[in-house]
Amino acid sequence: MAIGRAIVRQAQLFLFDEPLSNLDAQLRDEMRGEIKKLHQTIGVTMIYVTHDQIEAMTLADRIVLMREGRIEQVGAPLDLYERPATQFVGGFLGSPKINFIHGQVISDGSAQMLRLSDGETMPLPAKAAAWPKSVILGIRPQYLDRANASSLRSDMSFSRVIELVQPTGSRTYITVKLGRHDVVAEIESTERGRVGDVIELSFNMEHAVFFDPVTGSAL
């Protein structure tokens, strides 16, 4: 009703304060689509407050992500998703959540390496020479893939025992250990394997983000 009255009065600004929070999941999905179509039809500015990351990502042209009353980052949804300015932003957006892995920056001759807590190492870009000794590697589950299935250049591959399998239908989430951390990989549903199987995963640093563990800022 309130939306209809605003349209009739030709309002120049719509303010939404978590309008879908009391709806069940299916109706919330349907109404989210209706609001998106409404915005595309009338072309009026809408400010939409939500704690739901899916609503923010699907509805927004620009997101202002706030934490305790302070702005963490402003930008297009995919900018925040792919290039988070802080660890908080990286962890807030995405489902399943981004993997955070602690490591130490070490020098191997002229090259920079990341040493994980289990002693395994992986290559880092040259700019890592200016980073702090301790860093946090962030890698999203969809950028971890079976080593022989990935079409992308791989900087890192590793074999691990599958500890958990979570099929969703179209995709499957598997959990393994990397550097003593539980790491989730999103793979094809037909390639999920079983608990106890050994799987080889790979990723490349183009999709990795690094954070300062003290400040939480992206490096």
CATH class of 2-92: alpha beta
113-144: per-residue pLDDT in tens? 899 888 888 888 888 888 999 999 999 999 98
Q: Write down the pTM of the prediction.
A: 0.86
Kindly state which CATH superfamily the domain 99-211 is placed in: Nucleic acid-binding proteins (2.40.50.140)
Structural domain boundaries of the chain?
A: 2-92, 99-211
Q: What's the whole-number mean pLDDT along residues 103-116?
A: 88
**For residue 16, how many other CB atoms are within 10 A of its CB?**
16
User: pLDDT tens digit string along 18-59?
Assistant: 988 888 989 999 989 988 998 888 888 999 999 999 999 999
Structure tokens at 52: 């739901």
Class of residue 198 by CB neighbours under 10 A (exposed 0-12, middle 13-18, buried 19+): exposed
Residue 93's pLDDT band, with cuts at 50, 70 and 90, is very high
